[in-house]
Chains A and B, each alone.
Chain A
Amino acid sequence: MTRIQYSVTDMANKHGRSREALLPILQDIYQAKHVISDEDMVNVARELDISAAHVYGTATFYSFLETQQSGKYIIRLCKTITCMMHGKNPVLQELERILKIKPGQTTPDGLFTLKETNCLGQCHKGPAMLVNDNPHTQLTPESVREIIDSYRREALSY
């Protein structure tokens, strides 16, 4: 509790306490924890002196902010037309198979969350996905296996 309170204050110190700081602060919280909790929203509201309902309204509008816990690695696979045409479905099936989850779910070890998303602006190299901020393109069922493995290894090495 005190730790989170402290970090929200930190973020308000960094971004300022005007209303324009709201999105940057929420983005920082989400980046750090992959969730924006009720408690965070109340704390942000207090720091910026706005209503918690307002913070909630903003936090829930955007697809890159969430009030539910996501895994350490958030996979966003593009489901828009060009990626569809170039083999997004077999890639999705392979991701579902190796992670044993469906879109919208998180692996029980908390490592991966799988999501489908709209055009990532990589259409000429589709199928494409983001893992956290990193784009991966020209995906095949084989290449996603390697990509997931490399993130698994990265997680283990911490």
Chain B
Amino acid sequence: MIKNLKRLDLIFKNEQDTEAILEKTLARSNEEIVNDLIDSGLKGRGGAGFPTGLKWRLAADDPADEKYIICNADEGEPGTFKDREILSSVPNKVLAGMAVCARIIGSKQGFIYLRNEYKFLVPGLEIVISEFHELMDRLNLEFRVAIFMGSGAYICGEESALFESMEGKRGEPRNKPPYPTNFGYKGKPTVINNVETLAHTYSIFKYGPDKFRDLGIKDSRGSKVFSVSGDTPIPGIYELEFGMTLQKFVDDFGDGDSKAVQVGGASGFCVPRKKFEKTIIGYQGKLTGVSLPTGGSMMIFNSSRSMYNVLRNYLDFFVEESCGQCTPCRVGTQQLLLGIEAVKRGEKPSGYLDKLLELAETMRLTAKCGLGQSVANSFSSIVENFREEMIY
């Protein structure tokens, strides 16, 4: 059970005060609200960790008169299921965050980009959205939110691929820059935020930036919602204080026999037991030891599991989900998969793994988007830490 870690109830607390919080927040100036967000230290919970207040300010500073705000509910990273829970239990907080953002940047239209696997949430969400629209009218805010359904493509969680897909195209990432805050959906300034990020803004409006900043550690402030799965007696969704060591996490969630934790899903890192103590879950900062950013996926493996099978499963995922637009990723993912299979069957010598590690690093440098660039995260961390399991 949870003994070592601080469990919180900010996000999921059922609060029926959306209208009052919005009235209170909107009575303040845009500048004051953005400063609060920046002071709170809130960073994006979708994986990349960009400061949320800064993102809103960048979009606000663009003089265009047509702008958009998009809630990214594509949640396709293996082992992640927190956004589904947030959208089913506290969608009002997410919508409130979108409304405040809309006032600040000057947007009349927002979208929730919902993965098709979560279509069963639509009837409930539509009711909440229609109530939200009535609230917008009472508050004299000219802002509407629509649901846009994804169609089964992990890559569409990447922001520029998501815009392409909303524009009726294949979900192929764009070159960056330009960034979404200047050139997003339909080429207009767009704020795109993860579901959880938006829900946190609500807590900051309600309780002020200090309460949020007091939680967590330097560079990783606040609480974070984790999706815990794998070899654990208590799988599920947990809101925890940011910045814990992996050892403490495993002490609370492991089954007593944890050999590795995959932090951040298939595109994240595999941490072996001997590194649990030194590893901190948070954004990259000037910390001692290693800190790992995470979209919140925590997959625990015990000693009965073959890490070869785990890696094969991830590579299989990347081969299928690569959009195929750039060669390093399209060909690289396939070669990595074929390569570890050949080593396992004894058709290639074990030294071939070093060639594959080089290939993964080349992909990190040359692939066009975060998908191809991050394959090396899981590949290198699994192969380096569990080399014997790849061979025998």
Contacts and interface: CB of A to CB of B under 8 A. Distances in A.
A120 B228 contact: no
Interface in B101-157: 115-120, 148-154
Given A58-B168, A118-B321, A123 B235 contact: yes
B115 A121 contact: yes
A110 B309 CA distance: 34
B230 A120 contact: no
Contacts of A26: 151
When A and B form their complex, which 7 residue pairs have the shortest distance between CB atoms, in order from nearest?
A22-B168, A64-B152, A62-B151, A63-B152, A124-B235, A123-B229, A61-B170
Interface in A7-65: 19-24, 26-27, 48, 50, 54, 57-58, 61-65
Given A81-B299, A85-B305, A23 B186 contact: no
A157 interface: no
Contacts of B321: 118
Nearest to B151: A62
Chain B, interface residues (CB within 8 Å), range: 35 or more
Nearest to A132: B119
B91 interface: no
Contact of B81 (A117, A118, A122, A133): A122
B171 interface: yes
Nearest to B77: A119
A123 B81 contact: yes
Given A62-B165, A80-B78, 10 more contacts: A20-B168, A23-B148, A23-B151, A54-B169, A62-B151, A64-B150, A85-B230, A123-B80, A123-B230, A123-B235
A27 B313 contact: no
Contacts of A22: 168
Contact of B79 (A19, A79, A123, A125): A123
A65 B314 CA distance: 23
Interface of A: 19-24, 26-27, 48, 50, 54, 57-58, 61-65, 79-82, 84-85, 117-126, 130, 133-135
A119 B170 contact: no
A26 B148 CA distance: 13
Interface in B265-313: 299, 305, 309-310, 313
A63 B116 CA distance: 10
Contact of A21 (B150, B168, B228): B168
A19 B166 CA distance: 9
Residue among B167, B186, B321 with the most chain A CB within 10 A?
A: B167
B169 to A, nearest CB: 6
Given A23-B168, A58-B170, A121 B84 contact: yes
Residue among A57, A64, A81, A84 with the most chain B CB within 10 A?
A: A81
Nearest to B115: A121
A80 to B, nearest CB: 5
13 contacts: A20-B167, A23-B148, A27-B151, A61-B171, A63-B153, A64-B150, A79-B313, A81-B79, A81-B313, A82-B229, A121-B117, A123-B230, A124-B229
Given A64-B116, A118-B320, A123 B171 contact: no
Contacts of B120: 133-135
A76 B11 CA distance: 31
A121 B80 contact: yes
B201 interface: no
A74 to B, nearest CB: 11
